[in-house]
Amino acid sequence: MLRIDKMLSNLKYGSRKEIDKAIREKRVEINGKVCKSAKVKVDPKKDEVMFDGEVVYYEESILLMLNKPKGYVSANHDDLHPTVFDFVYDPYHRFDLKIAGRLDIDTEGLLLLTNDGQMLHEIIHPSKNVYKEYYVTVDQPFDPSVLLDEMVIMDGNNAPYTPMKPEVEVVDDLHFYLRIKEGKFHQVKRMVAHYGREVIALKRTKIGDLSLGDLPLGEMVEVDIEQIKG
Ligand code: URA
């Protein structure tokens, strides 16, 4: 149970003060009845809350999967480029979403957004043993099994970093799947560059057991953390 004013302010319907005013103006209803006080407690799973005649969608913890196209930055704001948040539509834009494992601007594929800090940690922390799978296209013929050997690359702070042992699956001379546990800045590109090849296209296809499936580019769906854990 949580207070109606807290629920609505969490969802960015306004400050507690503004919501208090909206309640006094009879703009909030709970189970079909006008809400009389900001102190009323609701059970978001059972009670139907309406604001200005529209149903309020509330989840304490939400996880969204986007099939990110190229050209979009994994950030809340960017002065030059559109961001992945351009794909977040109503009612999800009301949640305080964070990106669980960013993708480069020229990378496409599976991107997760969540409002739940614990969930974010479960997904992206290497100690959680969640593999992130990438479909990699390189510029010249390459045997990706060399990526299984220990190597040192630079991380996002330009400090030397030894990636954890990945998994590889050859498709053909120019394409392979690479599964890594971490998500260091440009990690896949830097691992491949270590062997003198360039990644010319990169797509994240899976996180744990969750795969993009047939989700079209630029579309977003709600998913369950259990789908990642398998
Ligand atoms: N590795 C990269 O090099 N880029 C990404 O976007 C993700 C992983």
pLDDT of 127:
87
Distance separating alpha carbons of residues 150 and 192, to the nearest angstrom: 13
Looking at per-residue pLDDT, the higher value among 71 and 125 belongs to 71
pLDDT exceeds cutoff 70 at 188: yes
- The mean pLDDT of 11-23, rounded to a whole number, is 96
- Which residue owns the Cα nearest ligand 1 atom 3? 186
Q: Tell me the pairing of strands 160-161 and 153-154.
A: antiparallel
Distance separating alpha carbons of residues 204 and 178, to the nearest angstrom: 9
- Give the number of the atom of ligand 1 that is nearest the alpha carbon of residue 183: 8
User: What confidence tens digit (pLDDT) does each residue in 32-67 have?
Assistant: 999 999 999 999 999 999 999 999 999 989 999 999
Q: Is 187 in the pocket of ligand 1 (CB under 6 A)?
A: yes
Average pLDDT, the chain: 96
pLDDT of 230:
60
Q: How far is the CA of 93 from the centre of ligand 1 (A)?
A: 26
- Give the number of the atom of ligand 1 that is nearest the alpha carbon of residue 106: 6
Q: Is the peptide bond before 82 cis (omega within 30 degrees of 0)?
A: no
User: What confidence tens digit (pLDDT) does each residue in 118-171 have?
Assistant: 988 888 888 888 999 999 999 999 999 999 999 999 999 999 999 999 999 999
Q: How far is the CA of 96 from the centre of ligand 1 (A)?
A: 24
Dig out the tokens for 162 from the structure. 């030894």
Q: How far is the CA of 202 from the centre of ligand 1 (A)?
A: 7
- The mean pLDDT of 91-114, rounded to a whole number, is 96
pLDDT of 129:
87
Exposed/middle/buried for 189, CB within 10 Å: 0-12, 13-18, 19+? buried
Looking at per-residue pLDDT, the higher value among 128 and 107 belongs to 107
Which domains are seen in the chain, by residue range?
2-55 (3.10.290.10), 63-228 (3.30.2350.10)
Where does the chain have alpha helices with state H?
4-10, 16-24, 117-124, 187-193, 225-229
- The mean pLDDT of 204-210, rounded to a whole number, is 96
- Which residue owns the Cα nearest ligand 1 atom 2? 186
pLDDT of 128:
87
Q: CB under 8 Å to 229, separation ≥6 — which residues? A: 208, 209
Q: Which residues are catalytic?
A: 104
Q: Give the other-Cβ count within 10 Å of 187's Cβ.
A: 20
pLDDT of 222:
96
pLDDT of 126:
85
pLDDT exceeds cutoff 90 at 176: yes
Q: DSSP labels for 147-195? A: GGS---EE-TTS-EE-PPP-EEEEEETTEEEEEES---TTHHHHHHHTT
Backbone angles phi and psi of 113, in degrees to 5: -125, 135
Q: Is 103 in the pocket of ligand 1 (CB under 6 A)?
A: yes
Q: Is 189 in the pocket of ligand 1 (CB under 6 A)?
A: yes
Percentage of the chain modeled with pLDDT above 90: 93
The pTM for the full model equals 0.92
